[in-house]
Amino acid sequence: MGLAVFDLDGTVTRRTTFGPYLLGMLVRRPWRLVRLPAALPAAVGFGLGLCGRGALKGALLRAALGGIARADLDGWTERFAARWAAHETFASARAAIEAHARAGDHLVLMSASPDLYVPAIGRALGFQEIICTQVRWEDDRLDGHLSTANCRGDEKVRRLRQLRERVAGAASAYGNSITDIAHLALVEHGVLVNGTARARRTARRTGLTCERWR
């Protein structure tokens, strides 16, 4: 028995989830499209290196979904999560998750994507614990600001270290981005999945395994 930590976007799923989740809700509420220019300053700031991904993510959430009632989001979230878990995941990822489950490992989904939908995808795939970026609510309406650090890079390192303090045994971790390498290097079995050529070179220098998942 040990620990198995999986990234979501591009590792378990075939593509990123954040944009499709926002777009799906906007299709259902097209009048909200006029709010999107409010995110332009954050987009320009991100492009110029003046703000991080977390600031951009929060700005997009506020522009696209800010003020929506929790009950109005819940129905879309469940449909989105069910579809992505069933049809937008790598067969190799599902096989790895199932293998760790049979071994009795503690299964953790750790993602920079928001807790609007990541927990629902995680539950559908059999994960026992979900760690992701959390967003703020005002009563039962979405505020859209992030209420935690964006769970990426150094934040994943911090969260993985906390996990290892409370979950005994050898650990495995799977990620797809060059920014995942730092936390993948902290476990006994770190795997870079479908990484870019640059990420694969960095991963191999770090002693990680590189795999192609389909």
What local confidence, expressed as pLDDT, does residue 194 receive?
97
Q: How many CA atoms lie within 13 A of 66 on its CB side?
A: 17
Pair of tokens at residue 152:
């990426």
Kindly report, residue by residue over 184-212, the tens digit of the pLDDT. 999 999 999 999 999 999 999 999 999 99
20 phi/psi in degrees, rounded to 5 = -60, -35
CB 113 within 8 A of CB 133: yes
Residue-wise over 103-120: b if at least 16 C-beta within 10 A, else e?
eebbbbbbbbbbbbbbbb
Kindly report, residue by residue over 95-151, the tens digit of the pLDDT. 999 999 999 999 999 999 999 999 999 999 999 999 999 999 999 999 999 999 999
Domain ranges of the chain: 3-211
CB 129 within 8 A of CB 110: no
Kindly report, residue by residue over 21-79, the tens digit of the pLDDT. 999 999 999 999 999 999 999 999 999 999 999 999 999 999 999 999 999 999 999 99
Q: How much of the chain exceeds pLDDT 70, in percent? A: 100
| Band of pLDDT at residue 1, cut at 50, 70 and 90 | confident
What local confidence, expressed as pLDDT, does residue 138 receive?
95
CATH fold group of domain 3-211: Rossmann fold (3.40.50)
Alpha carbons 36 and 61: distance in angstroms, whole number = 9
Alpha carbons 152 and 172: distance in angstroms, whole number = 18
> Rounded to whole angstroms, what are the CA distances from 68 to 20, 34, 47?
17, 15, 28
